[in-house]
């Protein structure tokens, strides 16, 4: 990348949730350490449950983040467009991927492995602290969201779809959570339509 493009990307990344309190100079140092990669349309970057040690920045193209239910049905959580950071949780906590990612079209990314991230920290200690602090805020938000999901499920069980929609109505800056909210809401509306559809009785 040219110095000008590194400067521009650093300024853009600083607007993202995870890097909001990181200095532009630290972001430039991180970008220089990242590796450029290209994936063709249809490529699965990683599956839910895979070991994850790499964070990505989407520079070009569109990416789909999705999960699957117990019987293998896919549920789209969100679609990403540039400039977007993803895979950060797994890089930091080394836990399995919480969702899958596939390229909807040819994409260009920058990748930062955990090993490179650990080598970066002595030079940019504020970068690691800021990322952990911002992700902690995100976890708190997710915890609050999951409490509402439990209440949502309880209302669905009772057949009170309007109350369920009220429980799940939550605005979020997190694209994955917002994608889940939209998916849950559509599921409730589908149940409502099914319940309200007139039943045709067939004479035996």
Q: Domain boundaries in the chain?
A: 3-121, 137-196
CATH of 3-121, one of 2.60.120.10, 1.10.8.80, 1.10.1300.10, 2.60.40.10: 2.60.120.10
Q: What angle do CA 165, 167, 172 make, to 5 degrees?
A: 95
* Distance between start and end Cα atoms, the chain: 73
135-138 contacts, C-beta under 8 A, 24 or more apart: 135/18, 135/88, 135/89, 135/92, 138/17, 138/18, 138/174
Q: What is the pLDDT of residue 202?
A: 45
Averaged pLDDT for residues 171-193: 63
Averaged pLDDT for residues 43-60: 93
Q: What is the pLDDT of residue 175?
A: 60
For the chain, percent of residues with pLDDT exceeding 90:
36
Q: How confident is the model at residue 204 (pLDDT cuts 50, 70, 90)?
A: very low
Averaged pLDDT for residues 158-171: 68
Q: What is the pLDDT of residue 1?
A: 86
Q: DSSP label at 82?
A: S
Q: How confident is the model at residue 21 (pLDDT cuts 50, 70, 90)?
A: confident
Higher per-residue pLDDT: 134 or 116: 116
pLDDT at 149 over 70: no
- The verdict on pTM exceeding 0.85 is no
The Cα–Cα gap between 117 and 179 comes to 29
Residue 40's SS3 state is coil
Q: How confident is the model at residue 104 (pLDDT cuts 50, 70, 90)?
A: very high
Q: What is the pLDDT of residue 163?
A: 73
The Cα–Cα gap between 64 and 79 comes to 4
Q: 39 vs 43, 45, 60, CA distance in Å?
A: 6, 8, 10
């Amino acid at each position: 990348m040219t110095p000008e493009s590194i400067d521009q990307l650093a300024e853009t990344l600083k607007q993202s949730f995870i890097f909001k309190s990181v200095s532009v100079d630290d972001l430039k140092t991180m970008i220089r350490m990242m590796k450029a990669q290209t994936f063709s349309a249809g490529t699965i970057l990683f599956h839910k449950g895979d070991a994850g040690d790499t964070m990505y920045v989407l520079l070009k193209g569109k990416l789909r983040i999705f999960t699957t239910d117990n019987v293998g049905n896919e549920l789209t959580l969100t679609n990403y467009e540039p400039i977007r950071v993803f895979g950060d949780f797994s890089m930091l906590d080394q836990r399995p991927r919480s969702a899958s990612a596939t390229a909807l079209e040819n994409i260009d990314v920058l990748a930062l492995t955990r090993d490179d991230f650990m080598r970066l920290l002595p030079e940019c200690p504020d970068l690691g602290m800021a990322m952990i602090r911002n992700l902690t805020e995100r976890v708190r938000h997710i915890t609050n969201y999951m409490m509402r999901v439990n209440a949502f499920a309880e209302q669905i069980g009772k057949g009170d779809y309007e109350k369920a929609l009220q429980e799940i109505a939550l605005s979020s800056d997190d694209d994955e959570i917002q994608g889940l909210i939209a998916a849950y809401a559509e599921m409730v509306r589908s149940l409502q339509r099914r319940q309200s559809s007139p039943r045709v009785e067939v004479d035996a």
